[in-house]
Amino acid sequence: MKQNIEIFDSTLRDGAQAEGISFSVHDKLNILQALDEMGVSYVEAGNPGSNPKDLEFFHMAVGMELKHTKLAAFGSTRRWGITAEEDKNVQSLLKAETPVVVIFGKSWDFHVTDIIRTSLNENLAMIRDTIAFFQERGKKVIFDAEHFYDGYKANPEYALKSLEAGLEGGAECLVLCDTNGGVLPFEIYTITKDVISKFPDTKIGIHTHNDSGMAEANSLMAVEAGASHVQGTLVGFGERCGNANLSVLIPTLQLKKGYSCISDESLRRLTHEARKIAEIANISIPHGMPYVGKSAFTHKGGMHIDGVSKNSASFEHVDPSVVGNERRMLMSEVAGRSMVLKRIHKISPELTKESPETKAILARLKELEMEGYQFEGADSSFDLIISKHLGKYTPFFKLDHFKVIGEQPPVEEGLSSMAMIKIMVSGKVEIAAAQGDGPVNALDKALRKALEVFYPVLKDVYLTDYKVRVLDQKEASAARVRVLMESTDGEDSWTTVGVSTDIIDASWIALVDSIEYKLLKDAENLHDPEPISL
């Protein structure tokens, strides 16, 4: 049997400490549900003693029926000089009513003497007493030995005594923390191996930060040394440089090392759940993130595309489907005719390289590239071009006209422009106006406002990225520009492109492609009506 590795997710606690992250109670409940569906062993959901919002979350989460996950509250040891019963933060952990409590305590003598400023013996008593307090009340206790690796390097005898205190209190798992994120993989392996040799019958865990870019490597080395409990956040965000990325660690441990972390079915949901949690957190997953990023299985070079087409193992270390991702072939000047044909086959599989339609599309592609279009990151626009050339596309709306007005200084902060637009759908006219932070934002809002009358599904669509590149700088302010827009509906994302000497016109082209791609995609999946004839 595969050895089981417990996965402990701290997105709702350590992840919430990342810059720019602020979860509502509703957000936290949704993330907890997603992690439970993933089959994560533990979810650490906050510190009820320091945050009233966390306590409210725990009160609501108690009633949830979790299938796989044990919910954990997080807090510190008692303060020095008082009992656990007298400590308000300790008492607040009881109010969370979770089956698991995570207690962190100092393992580095420097932190004991210089930061919390108590004696070394009192710190050990604080660890022992607090854990015993919860263990006696029927809680499963995990002890996070804060700064353990730095503490071990400075004073190994004392660092190990902190673990002994945790065990004496009744902790079921001792977690070794690289809190500063500065320890290197070979050090992690050596120190973890020594700890396991001294505590052979105890479950040992690992908690790493990414301040040296080593969080995942350090976690892997700890597992190699014998750790069987891995902590991190699902997409890696956390305080400072972030935590160990579980979206990287889970498939690496399971697919490459043969450990059992979650079910194979849950692993196939990894990309979906990682993107869902990123969406709730209002962040974008980097395209190059391993396994779940948009570019993780993306190929551009002609030789790479040819190799993957013959045997995916030639340029892919795992099958993208096992983690719920998909292979992408980029349209570019180095992709070759075979790549273009593959895109065409998505819409008309009967066409060949010699078909007149294929040659016409190739010719159009060259014309557009001469104008400055680049479809490498805008597959959606290219798919629309193919559909139009093959007569398999009917516009969803027709523009009558639009007008954009800018005003400086803005009447209100963030509202420097106004757009008015008139469109037609199936003979019906809709006029809308909107204010925005700049002309493109105002135009985007006005267009969506008009189209949502006919296509309510567009309420879920919004832009996640907007890039402008000047193509011929020698023309100065009259230069041609290329606009790339990335859009999402909360489930999928797609990128479109527009080129013009007018930045608003280029933005309009990309914006229309974005909306029509969404409507066409849903129509083909029978989620929405077929395109409306004008």
Q: What is the pLDDT of residues 310-363, one digit of tens each?
A: 888 888 899 999 999 988 777 654 455 666 777 788 778 888 877 888 888 888
pLDDT of residue 354: 79
| C-alpha closest to that of 296 among 307, 288, 284 | 288
Over range 462-472, report the average pLDDT.
Answer: 83
pLDDT above 70: residue 483: yes
Tell me which long-range contacts 353-361 makes (C-beta under 8 A, separation of at least 24). 357/389, 357/390, 360/389, 361/385, 361/386, 361/389
- Report residue 88 as tokens: 């308000």
Four-CA torsion 164, 169, 174, 175, nearest 10 degrees: -110
pTM for this structure? 0.74
Distance CA 47, CA 284 (A): 26
Indicate the pLDDT class of residue 530, thresholds 50, 70 and 90. Answer: very low
Q: Give the tokens for residue 176.
A: 């070794």
The residue among 137 and 371 whose pLDDT is bigger is 137
**Bridge partners (DSSP) listed for residue 174:** 143, 204
Q: Which of 72, 23, 65, 26 is nearest to 47 (CA)?
A: 72
Q: Where in the chain is the domain with CATH 3.30.160.270?
A: 398-524
Q: Are 509 and 498 in contact (CB under 8 A)?
A: yes
Please say if the pLDDT value at position 207 is more than 50: yes
Per-residue pLDDT, 339: 66
Helices (H) and strands (E) in the chain, counts: 18, 16
Contact yes or no for 451/423 (Cβ under 8 A):
yes
Bridge-based pairing state of the strands 140-146 and 173-178: parallel
Q: Does 6-262 carry CATH code 3.20.20.70?
A: yes
Asked if 491 contacts 461 with a C-beta cutoff of 8 angstroms, the reply is: no
Q: CATH 3.20.20.70 spans which residues of the chain?
A: 6-262
Is residue 307 pLDDT above 90, yes or no?
A: no
- Give just the sign of the alpha carbon dihedral 406, 502, 443, 440: negative
The SS3 assignment for 491 reads coil
User: CA 105 to CA 112: how far, in whole Å?
Assistant: 9
Mean pLDDT over 476-501 rounds to 84
Strand pairing class (417-425; 428-436): antiparallel
Query: What's the CATH number of domain 398-524, 3.30.160.270, 3.30.1600.10, 1.10.3720.10, 3.90.550.10?
Result: 3.30.160.270
Each residue's pLDDT tens digit, 255-291: 999 999 999 999 999 999 998 899 888 888 898 999 9
Residue 17 DSSP SS3: helix
Degrees to nearest 5, angle at CA 289 with 247 and 470: 155
Q: How far apart are CA 57 and CA 25, in angstroms?
A: 6
Q: Phi, psi (5° rounding) for residue 141?
A: -115, 130
Residues 145-170: what's their mean pLDDT?
A: 98
Average pLDDT, the chain: 89
Confidence of residue 475 (pLDDT cuts 50, 70, 90): low
Helix/strand/coil for 466:
strand
